[in-house]
A = this chain, B = another copy of it.
C-alpha cells in the first residue's frame, strides 16, 4: 500500500490506489476501470456528478485529456453521460450480484434484482469431446457431445455468456428444447432430470476475447469472471459441463453460504 493520508477523520476509501505506466494497459483504460470500480463501490450515487475532469486528472496524476479518454469509453459503454457546461453523470450504478453455490440457477439467481431475464441460445453444434470435457462428463474422449453457446440477459443487458456441453447420446435434441424453452432447467426435465446440483465450480478471470466482447456488449480490454462448473444429478451422475463468462464491471458473484 502506498503511503496515504490516514489522519483521523480524513477521507479513507478502504481500497488501494494508484496508476501504473508502460504496463501494456493504457492509462485511460486503467482510469476507466477505477471509475467503474468506484461507481460499483457506491462512491458516487446514481445520477450524481463525477468530479470535474481537472480534479480527476489531478487525483490520478494524469493529463486532463487522458481522463477524457477514460470518460469517453464509459460514455460509449452507457455508464456515464457527459453534458457540456454541466458535468459528467453516473447513469447505472450497481453491479448485479449473482449468487453462486450448489443450487445456482440462472433465473433463480437474479430474483428481485431485475424484472426480465432469460437465456438466449446463440448456436449449437455437435463435436467430439476433448479430454477435459470427457473427464468431466465421465465419457470417453472423442465421444460426441452437444455444445451450446448461450447468452444470459437481464433487463435487456447481457450479463453472461456461456458455453455448455452435454453427452450427445444421453441428451440428444437438447438444443431444440433449449431453443424452445429458453431454460436449461426446463430442458433437462424433458430428459427426466428434475433436480441437479453443482458438483464443482472453479473461478478465474481474464481479459474478454473478441467473441465475449461482442456478445456481452463490452468495450475491448474489459475483464470477465470465468466459472467452470460441473452439474450432476442427485445421484452424482455428471450431466453438464459449462464455462460461463461474466463481465466483471457489471456482475459480481456472491457465494451463498449453505445453499
Contacts and interface: CB of A to CB of B under 8 A. Distances in A.
Interface in A219-259: 219-221, 223-225, 243, 248, 252-255, 257-258
A30 B206 CA distance: 9
A163 to B, nearest CB: 7
Interface residues of A, number: 77
A142 B130 CA distance: 55
A160 to B, nearest CB: 14
Interface stretch (A2-10, A45-53, A108-116, A170-178): A2-10
Interface in A17-68: 17-26, 28-30, 32-33, 37, 40-42
The 7 closest A-B pairs by CB, nearest first: A23-B220, A24-B29, A205-B205, A201-B255, A24-B221, A203-B253, A25-B221
Given A24-B219, A200-B254, 17 more contacts: A1-B149, A1-B163, A14-B130, A14-B165, A17-B210, A20-B210, A23-B220, A24-B29, A24-B32, A24-B221, A37-B206, A101-B255, A199-B257, A201-B255, A202-B255, A205-B248, A207-B223
Contacts of A17: 209-210
B26 A25 contact: yes
A121 interface: no
A12 B258 CA distance: 37
A100 B200 CA distance: 11
A77 B144 CA distance: 39
Contacts of A33: 206-207
Given A14-B163, A30-B207, A42-B132, A219 B23 contact: yes
Interface string A72-108: 0100000000000000000000010100111000000
A242 to B, nearest CB: 11
